[in-house]
A and B are shown apart, each in its own frame.
Chain A
Amino acid sequence: MKTNLRKNSKAIIILVIIAAFLFVAARGMSGRDVLITVLRGFSTGSVTFLVAAGFSLIFGLLDVLNLAQGTLYMIGAYVGWTVYVRPDTFIDVLTPVLLILAGFSLSALWGRLASRIQLAPKARKIISWLLILAGFGLLALVLTRYPIAIWNLNNYSESPITYSYMADQGLRIIPAEVTFEKISPFLALAGLLVSSAISAFGIALLNRDESRSQTINWRKFLVPALLLLGGILAVVFNAQITSWMYAMSTNWLFVIAILIAILSGVGLGALMETTLIRPLYNRPIYQLMLTLGLGTIGLQIVQAVWGRPEFVWPKPEFFTGTGGACPATNLADLLEYNCSTVFLLGGRVRVYDEIFIPIVGIIVLIVVWILLKRSRIGMIIRAGVQDRQMVEALGINVRRVFTLVFALGVGLATFGGALAAPSTGLTPVMGERLLLSALIALAIGGLTSFPGAALGSLLVGLIQQFMIKYGQIGIPLPFTDAVFKPSPPLVPASTVLLMVIVLLILPGGLLGSKE
């Protein structure tokens, strides 16, 4: 115990100093303000933690600094918003996505076939690239004609801003359905499937060496068949599912939106890892630059699809009640009237922003912690963070674990985005801001340490919120009557300064590994 204390003396001293600072800061305001500020700090910290935890898992195991994490957080928010506010668009998009996935998931079968074809290396290269190009060309041809009901950025009454504003007022606009006009349904579906299968075959032909040992059995067909079935069901019952989703309680719609956001993150993560990150494992700096570039591209795509202006994600019914005994003073009232605010210590606290988000953050922390500590896969991940080569030597398929961890990390980020968006709103700059906070939190806590991510995020959240609060009420300077009000730009600056100081004293962060 004593040696443990001595080893971590610097970290403990820093923590004590920060705690003392926060305590002094808390003494300066009323109890009500302290409670709200601390709750908001927890809220900001939870969202930061979701992004930072994914980041640290990925960096710990894969040594990839995923700078696209901020953009993925933003994508999670936008995807979730689409499911929540425009379910019809979501159902329309679902079919092509599932069919393309079905086409690509046949690659195991194609790999087997491709390894049997004997071709000269050069001819193989040319033919595979031609196939890939042809596949993508056909895909583009079909997709541009495929009917998808979508908002119109150029027309204000059909823009995302109007849709979310009306949904917020409880007056949902249900847009007209679009039908297959430019292309017959059968041709569209077949085209999607065939074009993605062709490009998958081209890719399989390009790197045939990896797929030689795989055997073919009926399980290999299960996933493509399920995806295909899902896609076809979604297109056949399109109208029914859409009207069902529009009639659904917004609470359940919210749950679905969050789930879809997580799933899209997991899918995107797996895709990124297998196609783009994997070829660069022996060039770490290039991975970093790649993720940076992907972040920029993602940002541009979001701006092109959803537009630049800011809009809101209406909160679900469960958090928006105002009538009856609201703002609630006890739990029974809260549950009965679904109040949007509660009275705590004489101050109004928003249920979604300041109570629900921290609770979810803590639940995720516990779940991921248990996953890491108690499950087999968690054991492999922890071992991989310690010594990757040793794990490989013990005969564990590290590649699959890599993909899984990357997908999980990105899924956490998109989850964070979908969770935070109803309270912060959606803007194209949200990702960049959060990425900076998450990086700072990680640097403070320790880059590869999971508890460090939690601690760092909490500290960053608390400091930011205390600075914001003091920006409103002002700090009385000692020995003078003047009041110092930190301006909003000082909020991120203060956390950055904390990071620089912590890193100068402890290069590995508070809970990170020592060199």
Chain B
Amino acid sequence: MKNNSSFLTKNRGILIFFAVMLLAPFLIGLFEGSTPLMIWGNQGSLSKFIEGLGIEIFILALFALSFDLLFGITGLLSFGHAMFFAVAAYLTGIALKTLAMPFWGVVLLVLLAAIVQALLFSLVLPRVKGITFTLVSLGLASVFHIIVMSSDMINLTGADVGLQGVPVPAFISPVTERLRFYVIALTLLVVTYLFYRRFVASPTGRVCVAIRENEDRAKMLGYNTTIFKVVVMIISSLTAATAGMLHALYQPSISPSIADLGFTVTGLLIVLIGGVGTLSGAIVGAFAFRLLDFTLRRFMGESASFITGAIYVIFVLFVPYGIVGTMRMRQLRTKPGWQRLLGMVKPKN
């Protein structure tokens, strides 16, 4: 890729994705015989269903993207990542339901809380490394999960039943204004992805990759690695919080299962399916994971999670670079082959 190429050619893939996903509800609407105008007015059941599935995928992709930045790019394996998501989701629910705050105030509050959490995790960062960090983050997140599940807070969180009946502002209600919700979620995903691409390509992002590869060497080169880790932590937390807020607004109830280790593992699985450290892998992985999960649950019922686990193990063993990573490696391997072939036909001058 040339350096002087324009924004459009650089991000061709994601822009095409954006356009296709924008058109998808209308195109699918044609199959069931509803005109684009009807879709625009949120009629038509099939396209509405597809929009719903799409929103879920975008939320998962946002979450996985933030996890990929933390784990794939910077090399911080946090088992408490679901906490960022869950705190935002619960905070949105409680602020809208119990405190009856205005919507934009809620957004501000959630983003503030995300920064505070990132700073809380960052307190630990300079002291612990590697596996110990994983354990500490798991510990912090499981404290939150325990608090959410406890009966002391049942009025606020609904304990193990989950938080139900969140009053969603009418202008983005997923029931009546689902198309708008869909477009907002899609736009947020694409904008975040573009920002992440830019971030990873920036000097700061380069240092983050260096931290993943060899932290001691990065330190020796004079970088204060802790600050970079904190920055990544805050960005990642903000993204996960955005995903959590969308989740709270979209789902009819917030279940405590989004706060436990299982949800972090879902994020890990998505990143693994897509390709660790590739960013676009998070989006591809979210699609693959959600569609696979949906199909399996439809046809297999209970044993679906067994097959998900098996797929996970197979990916770890045989496709360690994920879909996107493997494709990129193929490209690298096939490109010289093509060039050689071309060279045979048309010798170089």
A contact set with B: CB distance below 8 Å:
65, 276, 279-280, 283, 285-286, 288-290, 292-294, 296-297, 300-301, 304, 436, 439-440, 443, 447, 487-490, 492-493, 496-497, 499-500, 503-504, 507-508
Contact = CB atoms under 8 A, between A and B. Distances in A.
| Residue of A280, A489, A493, A504 contacting most chain B CB atoms (<10 Å) | A489
B317 interface: yes
A293 B142 contact: no
Given A490-B150, A496-B143, A503 B320 contact: no
B139 A443 contact: yes
B316 A290 contact: yes
Nearest to A507: B128
Given A439-B138, A503-B128, A507-B132, A289 B272 contact: yes
Given A65-B131, A487-B152, 13 more contacts: A65-B134, A276-B313, A283-B320, A285-B77, A286-B320, A290-B313, A290-B317, A304-B303, A443-B132, A487-B150, A487-B151, A496-B143, A504-B124
Contacts of B128: 503-504, 507
Contacts of B143: 493, 496-497
Interface residues of B, number: 37
Q: Kindly list the 10 A-B residue pairs having the minimum CB-CB distance in the complex, ordered from nearest.
A: A489-B150, A300-B306, A296-B309, A293-B312, A297-B309, A293-B313, A496-B139, A489-B146, A290-B316, A443-B135
B132 A293 contact: no
Contacts of A492: 142, 146
23 contacts: A276-B317, A279-B317, A280-B316, A286-B316, A286-B320, A289-B268, A289-B272, A293-B312, A294-B309, A296-B265, A297-B309, A439-B138, A487-B150, A487-B151, A487-B152, A489-B146, A489-B149, A489-B150, A489-B152, A504-B127, A504-B128, A507-B132, A508-B132
Contacts of B313: 276, 290, 293-294, 297
A301 B306 CA distance: 8
Interface string B306-326: 101110110011001000000
B11 interface: no
A499 B139 contact: yes
B109 interface: no
A245 B3 CA distance: 77
A289 B306 contact: no
A440 B316 contact: no
Contacts of B135: 439, 443, 499, 503
| Residue of B139, B142, B265, B310 contacting most chain A CB atoms (<10 Å) | B139
A293 B265 CA distance: 9
Contacts of B142: 436, 492, 496
A490 B147 CA distance: 8
Contacts of B310: 293, 297
B110 to A, nearest CB: 24
Nearest to A276: B317
B275 to A, nearest CB: 13
Contacts of A500: 124, 136, 139-140
A301 B307 CA distance: 11
B32 to A, nearest CB: 36
Contacts of A440: 139
B224 interface: no
Interface in B279-324: 302-303, 305-306, 308-310, 312-313, 316-317, 320
Contacts of B77: 285, 288
A503 B143 CA distance: 16
| Residue of A283, A493, A497 contacting most chain B CB atoms (<10 Å) | A493
Contacts of A286: 316, 320
Given A65-B131, A492-B146, A500-B139, A293 B305 contact: no
B151 to A, nearest CB: 6
Contacts of A297: 306, 309-310, 313
Nearest to A499: B139
Contact of A292 (B129, B265, B317): B265
Contacts of A276: 313, 317
